[in-house]
Amino acid sequence: MNGNTRQEPTLVLGGTGKIGRRVAERLTARGLPVRIGARSGEPRFDWEDRSTWGPVLAGVGSAYVSHYWDVIPGAAETLGGFAELAVASGVPRLVLLSGRGEEEAERAVRAVRDSGAELTVLRSTWFAQNFSESYWREQVQSNEVALPAGATPEPFVDADDIADVAVAALTDDRHVGEVYELTGPRLLTFAEAVREISRAVGREIRYVPISNEDFAAAAAAQGVPSEVVEMLTFIFGEVLDGRNAHLADGVQRALGREPRDFSDYARDAAATGIWNPRATRAA
Ligand SMILES: NC(=O)c1ccc[n+]([C@@H]2O[C@H](COP(=O)([O-])OP(=O)(O)OC[C@H]3O[C@@H](n4cnc5c(N)ncnc54)[C@H](OP(=O)(O)O)[C@@H]3O)[C@@H](O)[C@H]2O)c1
């Protein structure tokens, strides 16, 4: 059990994002109070404005910590600074979402650990939901996914599994000190993942491997902000060398069950209509 018996709220940073939103929903469904930490939250939280950090930490019992991009230069120092303030504010119980295999992400984990926090680390590979709730959804809708990812298989993990592990860690002190490597149950190349989506939606969606340069140029032409293009190309260039082409047992260890398979994700996402072709605007 968690020592947080007074039902102080749990702070969920990135609580409007892909994982944080799910963490907040799960805690709320259990009747546990939640404070969302985001620029749209109340009080407002902004990683770039340290004056907003203290107010969101006031009176909370624990925190789910997720930077909007933990591999950008300086994120490790920012995360370390936040963790120090959390510990100094009497909020030592932290659950940190991190990447898997990026040196910058590892630096961030060390910085948070150095704060002396009672820490659980979730080291996550690519989220399956990037195809439906983020970067690649519009490409699926337009029947062609073009990314700088070749034949390297990746163990895509379901955002629901990550959120389940985060909530387990936030509500049970047995997870303090654990590092959970979170992967799905199967390695898939990007082409194979897109084929699964194609099967689920019942129409052909092509996967086209492109160079990092072509990807950057196409993203810039679509109006993606330059710092985002830079970060995406950095991540694609850094982690797709096969370093993550192996499965890990983090979901099983944390939850005592197997992770969800990508085909289940694709079936359920397709059923929501999220990948329906975009309606062409009437002239
Ligand atoms: N996507 C992947 O496949 C993957 C894999 C492994 C690890 N990760 C890591 O996961 C993290 C992202 O998690 P996610 O995908 O759940 O988030 P997300 O869906 O990208 O959402 C970002 C969240 O951060 C908030 N945010 C953005 N800028 C902010 C700022 N300046 N200050 C405070 N909050 C801010 C957003 O809310 P507001 O806009 O309201 O502020 C939102 O709640 C990153 O650290 C990433 O490196 C991602």
Nearest of 166, 168, 208, 160 to residue 184 by alpha carbon:
160
Q: Please report the atom of ligand 1 found closest to the CA of residue 48.
A: 31
Q: What is the pLDDT of residues 237-275, one digit of tens each?
A: 888 999 999 999 999 999 999 999 999 999 999 999 999
Q: Quick one: DSSP state of residue 168?
A: H
Q: Best of 26, 42, 68, 190 to mutate for ligand 1, by most ligand atoms within 8 A of CB?
A: 68
Alpha carbons 251 and 162: distance in angstroms, whole number: 8
What is the Å distance from ligand 1's center to 283 Cα? Answer: 36
Alpha carbons 87 and 84: distance in angstroms, whole number: 5
Q: Are 72 and 231 in contact (CB under 8 A)?
A: yes
Q: Are 70 and 124 in contact (CB under 8 A)?
A: no
Q: What is the pLDDT of residues 133-192, one digit of tens each?
A: 987 999 999 999 999 998 999 999 999 999 999 999 999 999 999 999 999 999 999 999
Q: What is the dihedral of CA 186, 188, 192, 198, to 10 degrees?
A: 50
What is the Å distance from ligand 1's center to 231 Cα? Answer: 13
Burial of 29 (0-12, 13-18, 19+ CB in 10 A): exposed
Q: Please report the atom of ligand 1 found closest to the CA of residue 70.
A: 45
Whole-number percent of the chain with pLDDT over 90: 85
What is the Å distance from ligand 1's center to 15 Cα? Answer: 9
pLDDT for position 282: 44
Q: What is the pLDDT of residues 36-68, one digit of tens each?
A: 999 999 999 999 999 999 999 999 999 999 999
Alpha carbons 268 and 264: distance in angstroms, whole number: 6
C-alpha distance from residue 3 to each of 77, 88, 205 (Å) = 29, 18, 49
Q: Are 206 and 140 in contact (CB under 8 A)?
A: no
Ligand 1 first shell, C-beta below 6 A: 14-20, 38-40, 45-48, 66-71, 97, 99, 124, 126-127, 130
Q: Please report the atom of ligand 1 found closest to the CA of residue 235.
A: 47
pLDDT for position 73: 87
Q: Please report the atom of ligand 1 found closest to the CA of residue 134.
A: 19
As a whole number of Å, the CA-based R_g of the chain is 19
Q: Are 120 and 96 in contact (CB under 8 A)?
A: yes
Q: Are 196 and 212 in contact (CB under 8 A)?
A: no
Q: Which letter, b or e, does each residue of 181-191 get, where b requires 16 or more Cβ atoms within 10 Å of its Cβ?
A: bbbbbbbbbbb
What is the Å distance from ligand 1's center to 281 Cα? Answer: 31
Strands 144-147 and 206-209: parallel
Asked, as a colleague might, if the bond just before 185 is cis with ω within 30 of 0, I would say no
Average pLDDT, the chain: 94
- Of 94-98, 102-106, 123-127, 186-190, give the lowest mean pLDDT range: 102-106
Q: Which helix (H) or strand (E) holds 182?
A: strand 179-182
Q: Please report the atom of ligand 1 found closest to the CA of residue 16.
A: 43
Written as one letter, the residue type at 138 is E
Nearest CA to ligand 1 atom 7: 99
C-alpha distance from residue 53 to each of 8, 21, 78, 279 (Å) = 17, 19, 11, 42
